[in-house]
Amino acid sequence: MSSHYNLMNSMQKEQFEPYKKELKFAVVAVLTSILLVGFSYSSNGNTFEYYEKLNGQRSGLKVEVDGLVEARDLLADIGTQFENIKVQGFYGDEDRLSWVEVLKVVSDRLKLPNLKYSISPQEKILKISDNSVPGFFLSQSIMSIEADLLHEGDMLDISEALSMQPGLFRLQGCELNKGESSSVYKNKKNMTLKCSLAWHTVEYNPDEIVEEEVIDLGTETEM
């Protein structure tokens, strides 16, 4: 077995013997080529990688600068407006207690025969506009009011009193109905009022991502 292997080995050696010089040259040429191309490729790759890195850095800086320019322009444009709306309670948590307190005060002051209200749990409106800032949320709480009024002025008083409270509301719907007979006596119902108000507040929380809590604005408009 061993002699057969040796014989084969020596035959192979003999076969390659005439080409020894050329094969050596070929091996050196191939190795040199691999080293040359490999080194060049690696060097080029590193340079290109660095270029890509710098390109990314420039893009990031551009975005940052654009953001700063935009921020500067926005701040110049905004002035003190944001502070004002913050004072008005539009930004931050809602203060529904003050709303119900003022309703009680107005009802007592106007001596209304009847005033009934309800406020729904607060919900987030996910889609404010097509280009809203991520993490910026608009919330709404629906307040339903039913009241017997002496005259139209009572409705204006209620609206004015609510407008003074923290937060901002919009009227989703309202019905003012005059009774069949009018009376000048106090505490006599002359008109009925049914209104649905949406109280809005905004807040910014960049860490919070809301995807599921999409509310249907149409469901709470019922008066």
Partner 1 sequence: MTAKMHTLYLSDQYLAFSDVVKGGLDLKFSLSLDEPDAALKFKAFLNDDSFGLFNVFTDVMGTETRQENIPHVTGKDRELLLDRKGKSIFPAADFIWKEHIKREKTARRDDVFLLIGITLPPVIKNILDILQASESKVVGVYSVPVLQQVLFKELPCFSRSLVISRVLGGGNEAKSFRQSFYRDGKLVISRVNNVTGMDAGKSEYDQLFDEVERTYQFLKSAKQVDVGSALKVVSLLTKKESELLFNHKPHYDIDFSYANFNQLAQKLGLRLSKPCSSLPEILANIVVLKQLKPNFTPTDLCKAYRIDRVKKAVMLSSVLTLFSAVIISSWLWYEKGLTQDDIYSLETNISNIEERRELLAKDTPETELPPKVMKQSIDLFDAIESRGHKPEKVLSLISRAYKGYHDLDIRNIVWEEESEKIEGRNEEASFFDELNAPKKIIITIRTDQALNTRHVLQRINDFSESLLSQPEIKKVEQEKSTIDIRSTAKLEKTFGRGETLKKAPELTLVITL
3-class DSSP state for residue 117? strand
Smallest separation, CB 120 to partner 1 (Å): 16
C-beta of 83 vs 108, nearer to partner 1? 83
Label residue 8 left, alpha or beta by phi (over 0 means left) and psi (-120 to 50 means alpha): alpha
C-beta of 29 vs 97, nearer to partner 1? 29
Smallest separation, CB 105 to partner 1 (Å): 18
C-beta of 53 vs 104, nearer to partner 1? 53
CA–CA separation, 174 vs 197, rounded Å? 9
* DSSP labels, 139-158: EEEEEEEEEEESSHHHHHHH
CA–CA separation, 107 vs 206, rounded Å? 41
223 with 196: CB under 8 angstroms? yes
Smallest separation, CB 79 to partner 1 (Å): 10
C-beta of 75 vs 210, nearer to partner 1? 75
Smallest separation, CB 117 to partner 1 (Å): 15
Q: Are strands 114-119 and 123-125 parallel, antiparallel or unpaired?
A: unpaired
**Single-letter amino acid code for the residue at 20:** K
C-beta of 1 vs 79, nearer to partner 1? 79
